[in-house]
Structure 1
Amino acid sequence: MLAETICSAVSAAGLGIAAVTAYRRRFLTATRIAAYSLVPVGLVMTGVVQWLSGIVFQPSVWIGFGLLGLAWLLLVTTRAVERRRSGEERGSAKAARGGAAREAVAPAASAPSLGTGPGTRTGSAPAAAAPPAEDFSDIEAILKKHGI
């Protein structure tokens, strides 16, 4: 009952604003305002407002929404735990097969040489080969830990 009264008051106010706008000779804007102000009355007459107010003010409906949210949360949680467990099982299976102790793809490959291409200068002194600046053992350990 209260919702219907509020919708009727909003519609009456909107029609009043539309009348003032039409008085100022802005007919297109007044027509648009009148159209928007008739929507709440139309919703009241079709029963949509009563249906919505029945849903909003019933505690059993809110309990139902709460149960749906709880069910969704449980499904998402079990899915995350299932993914985590399957990832651990795959990692332990690879370690058991020896997948963690793999060698490099090309262990005997040489480092690329710099300065031997056609665009290099011939008169300059050759650059000294720089020793490897970083030890990649920590990265290899991380990759082995994840079974890669």
Structure 2
Amino acid sequence: MEATDRARREDRMIAETVCSAVSAAGLGIAVVTAYRKRFLTAARLAAYSLVPVGLVMTGVVGWLADTALSPTAWAGFGVLGAAWLLFAGTRAVERRRRGAGAGREAAGREAVAPTASAPSLGGASRPVGGPAATAPRAHGSAEDFSDIEAILKKHGI
């Protein structure tokens, strides 16, 4: 037990030393950048350089060092990965099934108002009780595109 605690403390010390060295190097680069009269870039570099020291001071680095070297934590990450794969796989299958089922349902249903998508020609050009209002539309492929062709011709396309 005591050897494990000592190993964890050593790991934390190494991580804290690395973070401190990275911060010191970044601050040095920021000083050189400020000397070259690029103050905005220097301030940004200083801000980035202070992040590792802040993480050490809050204890995040120690927690990460303990987590990164723990086999239980890695097993937990594996379980989380497996759960994510299961979620993603079931969503993909669900989408595939829903996409195929929606096409079959739409083909089997008739339109509620088949002339609702017909282009409007105005009230004076077509009688109210005329043949277009009483005759059902033909369900051929040429008839399906006649409305679109009429619209395109109207706009000169």
TM-score scaled by length of structure 1: 0.49
TM-score scaled by length of structure 2: 0.47
Structure with greater helix share of residues: 2
